[in-house]
Amino acid sequence: MPADPIIFFNRLTGRLETEAVYGDGFLRFTYENPLGALPLHALVKRAAFSKWYGSRMDAPASREKVAPFLATYGLDTSEFADSPDSFRTFNEFFYRKLKPQARPIAPGDDVITFPADGRHLVLPDIAACTDFFIKGTRFDLPALLRDAALAARFAHGSMLISRLCPVDYHRFHFPCAGTPGPARPVDGPLYSVSPIALRRRASIHWENKREITLLRNPALGDVLLLEVGATCVGSIVQTYTPDTPVEKGAEKGYFRFGGSCFITIFEPGKIRFSDDLLEHSRAGREVYARMGDIAANACT
């Protein structure tokens, strides 16, 4: 029986497209084949495995992987801030910077932008979501935040889940202006965040290693920003300065090698997501869009 493809809506092309999954065979074996359960729990989900794989991507020999990767996935090198030939390792290429004009930031104080390139899914009311990837599964906000009072305050809030694939730009940015506090680390395993894995284990988002930052915005109140690690993510690197005001679109940090995701949570009644996000998320389908594009508008 053929494996279920990952279908998403591409905002840039206006079409439904099929994701070209990096490491598809490995992912499907570990998450869909019963024989994959043993290596998954004994090795793949553990930090040591991702640290080992990340170290391979930091080795000088990994530089040879850059050109074949570019050829296979057709990345636009004209967007890169540095020449593809300048990267000394695959990881340097992976967390590359882009030219500022490659990701213009949508203007307007009432406009909230995507924090990262990727495939995005929204929950307009977190508590109302009863089929999160698996029928009958609710999103466990208390488990995600590890803070009962904070989870109660955001229980009916709005959530944007931005999933980054290995082919994506892997720096993440602030979706609105404000003053960010320090990032609070929460330990956990490192499962894949691909839909291939989530269809079998929807709890991955609130199990995986993550970091949580509270951003204070005068109009939106408190906004929660979470970086969620995943298999082969060597580390989450924060580049911002806590307790210092930031502009919308300012860089917050970057992921080292691997797929990963960024979660943004807003207080109840503060924002309304864009129509295409609402439409496709209702159908259980992600929307591909880029950092700086419009994700939502503040409610007036």
Which tokens sit at 232? 């082969």
| Residue whose C-alpha is closest to residue 212's, from 198, 197, 229 | 229
Name the catalytic one among 173, 192, 222, 281.
173
Name the catalytic one among 260, 274, 281, 293.
260
| Residue whose C-alpha is closest to residue 10's, from 165, 224, 230, 130 | 165
Those residues with Cβ within 8 angstroms of residue 175's Cβ, 6 or more apart along the chain or in another chain: 112, 113, 114, 115, 160, 223, 225, 248, 264, 295
Active-site residue, 173 included? yes
In the sheet that 294-298 helps form, which strands lie side by side, from edge to edge? 111-113, 294-298, 271-273
Active-site residue, 192 included? no
Give, in degrees to the nearest 5, the angle at Cα 265 between 21 and 153.
145
Name the catalytic one among 50, 62, 117, 280.
117
Give, in degrees to the nearest 5, the angle at Cα 225 between 178 and 191.
165
Active-site residue, 156 included? no
- Residues designated catalytic: 117, 173, 260
